[in-house]
Structure 1
Amino acid sequence: MNFVEFRSRDGVDLARLLAVNEVSPLELMRIAIDAAERFNKKTNMISYSDLEGALDKASRHQVVAGKFSGLPFLLKDSALASVDLPTSMGSSLFDGTQAQSDSTLAARFRQAGFISFARSTVPEMCMAPTTEARRNGGPTRNPFDFERSSGGSSGGAAVAVACGVVPIAHGSDGGGSIRTPASCCGVFGLKPTRGRVPIGPFRGEGWAGLACDGVISRSVRDSARVLDLIAGMEPGAPYAAPPGAGFEAGLRIPFGRPLRIAVWKDPWGLPVDPICRNAQGRTAELCETLGHEVIGIDPPDFDYCAFVDAIITVMAANITLSARTRLASERRDPNTDEFEPAILDGYYLGARMSAPDYAAAINRLHATGRMMTRMMEGYDLLLTPTLASLPVKLGTISMETADFKGFRHKVGELTPFLAVVNASGQPAASLPLWRENGLPVGVQLIGQFGQEDIVLRLASQLETSELWRTAQQWPDASAAY
């Protein structure tokens, strides 16, 4: 198998070939490593790698049918503990952190058959919708326009999937960090329901329940199968999703009735690029041709600025906690060059915070979940643009300014349809359904709590459309091959 054939197949198809011995894990690993090394020179998608170790594991791997057994895989350079690879969270302060044991999810990825050979790049502490970290030696570039953002914080993961380095890569989402890069890079990204995918055992929640883990993939069925393999509550977890299984098999089940899909256009008066609105509109028309009922709605009254402030409070508190934990043995504050200016400002903001400040922020996030529940009453899904603009130019949303609040409010202007879903814990996915001058434009589906199956089934229907096929493009590989 050559690279062109490798990247033309999704993970489910490659797993089938592995199961019948048409290709070997070692052959696929060699292709993936070669592609990663070539594309990384232009995009800067990789933060750590263990290529020799991965080749050794692939050479000894015994393929098991029905999983992703023997498939090359990337772990995000987040706080997900794995004995296979160190992590930095995109920060000099945390560079080279090595776990002594696996997180539950890392163990489940291994049980699913994935062979992790590298970590994908992230912005510092995963706190930006664009992957531009000093620790990485420069930005992670969008493979369709090197002067634009790949999205964040799972930017390196989305670039790797878009380029064809791997069909599936680990991502996490605390305010849109799977869906933003999926939109920017023209791939599929599902944020699961809160509590669906384990986050322990070393912590019970991420960012007060905002954060969850999942994957970015080439196809809807790839994400559905992964969810079947990694989902399930772990003992002692503070959250649990409603029971759910058979996500891949469910893709083939027709809807027994037309879905009621609410089209949400206005994010409380914030501007949305007409191109993003157009992508949403074309998707709404397509849903109607599939027989579903599409209804335009206005959102409930909501203080979006206060919501962003609540996220800022939670994030700042987590910056301070993480840094103090790291530095506890040295009994010092971080040096000014150990964080980028905005994150250092966030550290000091968290240090000044009071307990009532944090409690009020949690109450605000919980109220947001109730608001989203009211908005979805009587509807199966919400349809929105993923982002409020095309992929931004590099440097547009920068952590080089020593103003964490101002930085995060700029993030909020780009992602008004995203973080509210993290607060509510609902499942949501960015679908690659539009291109504008070669740039990907995502459209988001938001499901009722616990109903990833509905999101995935409609996404699978849309995946067969001409709209999706037209939007599916590979980056120019001439610079790499």
Structure 2
Amino acid sequence: MNTGEYRKRDGLDFARMLYNKELTPLELMDCAISRAEDVNPKINAICNANFEHGRDLARTATLKGTFGALPFLLKDSGLAYPDLLNSFGSRLFSELKINFNSTLTDRFLEDGMLPFGRTTVPEFSMAPTTEAVQNGGPTRNPWGRNRSSGGSSGGAGAAVAAGIIPLAHGSDGGGSIRIPASCCGIFGLKPSRGLIPAGPARGEGWGGLATDGVLSRSVRDTAAALDGVAGMEVGAPYAAPPKAGSYASLLSRPFERPQRIAMWTVGFEDIPVDPECLTALAKAKSLLESMGHEVIDAPLPPIQFSKFVEAQVNVMAANVTVTVNGKVRNDLASGWEQKLEPAILDAYQRGRGLSAETYALAIARFHTIGRQLETYIRSYDFILTPTLMRPPVELGDITTNDDFFSFRTKVSRYATFLAIINASGQPAASLPLHWSEAGLPIGVQLIAPFGGEGDLLRMSARLEEAQPWFDRTPAI
């Protein structure tokens, strides 16, 4: 199979070919590795690769699950899998081995995924662009290599967009699936809180903000992947409503009535929206209205945005402190501080000084936003927003060479409509429905009520049919 043919297929296409014996797992793995060797030097999307491990898995693979024996990449965010080292994008954790599988890893494996490397992240997955010093250089956007591929799943987004693999693992604690999906012109869905397992080593990430998922080039691949991995695990602190049957089987089901969709065209606290992002929003509105749905230019919910950003900063800083202390608690005089980027070191110091009251109030702020947004969306079926407030930023535009609060404040003005949905726990997806005059992808975000993945995937599939994006690929 040549590169051109390889890039024309999604994960479910490959699964069909594997089960029909039109292709062997090793032939498919060799295609993925060949593509990685060709394009990764240009975009720096893969770290801690273990190609021989991938080939060994493929040689001995027994087809199973939805995807049979599909080459796959895990994000370098700490998802436990002993055969692939971790770094969390940090020089402090370089070549860390975790000697067990996470629950989610086991579910990926049972669904037919064959991991052969990890994808790059910013340090501790704290940024909307992937430029960690640990990675030896920035991860570049396949659509414009002076632009960011997004973050924190920036390597995953770039790898999928560049055609290394059709879908990849991602995680999202403040937009980290949706940002690279928007920047790289692919589909990315953040599931509802509690739908995807986080164990067995932890019950939550970032005070309930974080969850895992995938980035893909087709809606149906994401739906099929969720079918394989979704569902509560024993002892989890959160639970999303159980799914009604298969997400994949819902994609072709029409809506019984026109949907009522709130559209946000202005940012909280007058944060500006770039005209290109408004053009993408207008295009999405036109598509939805052509399907018979009602799109309403709606007022924003009464969220105190600056107070939310402060709460998010405090919870993230507390988590940096916990992570770093787990490594250095018994070695505080070793000069480890030099291995952290400036904003992350400042986050550590901020976290050490936080009071219990401050942390508890931050969690209460998240819960308040959850109630506000679920109450707000009761008047609608979906919310439509720009994914980002600007097109993909240039590399070096948003960096960790600052204090943590200033850095995260700048992030909040770029990804204004994203982290609040992590606080609410609702599902949200970024869809690639527009490209700028400069040829850069511009995503729009669609938000559903808590537990509404089925309807969100159905509507995303309708938009994909109305304006297909799968064959639109970067020239790399």
Range of TM-score over shorter length: over 0.9
Give 1:84 deviation, angstroms: 2.2
What does 1:51-62 align with in structure 2 at a 5 Å threshold? 51-62=51-62
Partners of 2:263 and 2:296 within 8 A in 1: yes
Q: Secondary structure of 2:329's partner?
A: helix
Q: Which residue of 2 aligns with 1:462?
A: 463
Residues in 1 aligned to 2:139 and 2:48: alpha-carbon distance in whole angstroms = 14
Give 1:40 deviation, angstroms: 1.0
Q: Deviations over 1:100-120 (max 9, x none)?
A: 110000111111110000000
Q: Which residue of 2 aligns with 1:328?
A: 329
What does 1:308-387 align with in structure 2 at a 5 Å threshold? 308-332=309-333, 335-387=336-388
What does 1:89-128 align with in structure 2 at a 5 Å threshold? 89-128=88-127
Partners of 1:390 and 1:439 within 8 A in 2: yes
Residues in 2 aligned to 1:188 and 1:303: alpha-carbon distance in whole angstroms = 29
Give 1:308 deviation, angstroms: 0.4
Residues in 1 aligned to 2:212 and 2:45: alpha-carbon distance in whole angstroms = 19
Q: Deviations over 1:156-194 (max 9, x none)?
A: 000110011000100000000000000000000000000
Q: Deviations over 1:422-477 (max 9, x none)?
A: 00000000001000121000011000000101110000001112x334x8521213
Q: Which residue of 1 aligns with 2:300?
A: 299
Residues in 2 aligned to 1:39 and 1:292: alpha-carbon distance in whole angstroms = 41
Counterpart of 1:85 in structure 2: which amino acid? L
Change (3 A) 1:257 1:327: same
Give the stretch that moved more between structures: 249-258 or 330-339: 330-339
Counterpart of 1:239 in structure 2: which amino acid? Y
Partners of 1:175 and 1:422 within 8 A in 2: yes
Partners of 1:324 and 1:333 within 8 A in 2: no
Counterpart of 1:450 in structure 2: which amino acid? G
Give 1:300 deviation, angstroms: 2.3
Residues in 2 aligned to 1:68 and 1:297: alpha-carbon distance in whole angstroms = 41
Residues in 1 aligned to 2:375 and 2:267: alpha-carbon distance in whole angstroms = 15
Residues in 2 aligned to 1:275 and 1:334: alpha-carbon distance in whole angstroms = 45
Give 1:78 deviation, angstroms: 0.3
Give 1:251 deviation, angstroms: 0.5
Residues in 2 aligned to 1:290 and 1:326: alpha-carbon distance in whole angstroms = 54
Residues in 1 aligned to 2:370 and 2:333: alpha-carbon distance in whole angstroms = 38
Q: Give the number of aligned pairs.
A: 473
- Share of identical aligned residues, percent? 52
What does 1:90-239 align with in structure 2 at a 5 Å threshold? 90-239=89-238
Give 1:7 deviation, angstroms: 1.1
Partners of 1:74 and 1:170 within 8 A in 2: yes
Q: Which runs of 4+ in 1 moved over 6 A?
A: none
1:390 aligns with 2:388: no
Residues in 1 aligned to 2:24 and 2:330: alpha-carbon distance in whole angstroms = 46
Give 1:374 deviation, angstroms: 2.6
TM-score (norm 1): 0.97
Residues in 2 aligned to 1:237 and 1:476: alpha-carbon distance in whole angstroms = 43
Partners of 1:434 and 1:468 within 8 A in 2: no
Q: Secondary structure of 2:197's partner?
A: coil
Partners of 1:299 and 1:375 within 8 A in 2: no
Counterpart of 1:139 in structure 2: which amino acid? P
Give 1:397 deviation, angstroms: 0.5
Counterpart of 1:18 in structure 2: which amino acid? L
Residues in 1 aligned to 2:120 and 2:216: alpha-carbon distance in whole angstroms = 16
Any stretches of 5+ residues in structure 1 without a counterpart?
A: none
Partners of 2:328 and 2:336 within 8 A in 1: no
Q: Which residue of 2 aligns with 1:281?
A: 282
Residues in 2 aligned to 1:110 and 1:8: alpha-carbon distance in whole angstroms = 24
Q: Which residue of 1 aligns with 2:6?
A: 6
Q: Secondary structure of 1:474's partner?
A: coil
Q: Deviations over 1:311-345 (max 9, x none)?
A: 00000000000000112343557623110001001
Change (3 A) 1:381 1:49: same
Q: Deviations over 1:363-410 (max 9, x none)?
A: 111111112123212211001110000000111100022x00000000
Q: Deviations over 1:194-248 (max 9, x none)?
A: 0000001100100000000000001000000000000110000000000104100
Q: Which residue of 1 aligns with 2:425?
A: 425
Partners of 1:432 and 1:472 within 8 A in 2: no
What does 1:43-54 align with in structure 2 at a 5 Å threshold? 43-54=43-54
Residues in 2 aligned to 1:38 and 1:394: alpha-carbon distance in whole angstroms = 22
Q: Secondary structure of 1:132's partner?
A: coil
Partners of 1:186 and 1:472 within 8 A in 2: no
Counterpart of 2:392 in structure 1: which amino acid? P
Partners of 2:8 and 2:471 within 8 A in 1: no
Q: Secondary structure of 1:233's partner?
A: coil
Residues in 2 aligned to 1:284 and 1:400: alpha-carbon distance in whole angstroms = 38
1:18 aligns with 2:18: yes
Residues in 1 aligned to 2:254 and 2:199: alpha-carbon distance in whole angstroms = 35
Give 1:302 deviation, angstroms: 2.2
Partners of 1:207 and 1:318 within 8 A in 2: yes
Change (3 A) 1:334 1:247: farther
Counterpart of 1:3 in structure 2: which amino acid? T
What does 1:227-266 align with in structure 2 at a 5 Å threshold? 227-244=226-243, 245-266=245-266
Change (3 A) 1:241 1:334: farther
Residues in 2 aligned to 1:475 and 1:332: alpha-carbon distance in whole angstroms = 47
Residues in 1 aligned to 2:246 and 2:335: alpha-carbon distance in whole angstroms = 47
Counterpart of 1:355 in structure 2: which amino acid? A
Residues in 2 aligned to 1:224 and 1:276: alpha-carbon distance in whole angstroms = 26
Q: Deviations over 1:340-368 (max 9, x none)?
A: 00100110000111111111111111111
Change (3 A) 1:68 1:332: farther
Change (3 A) 1:451 1:334: farther
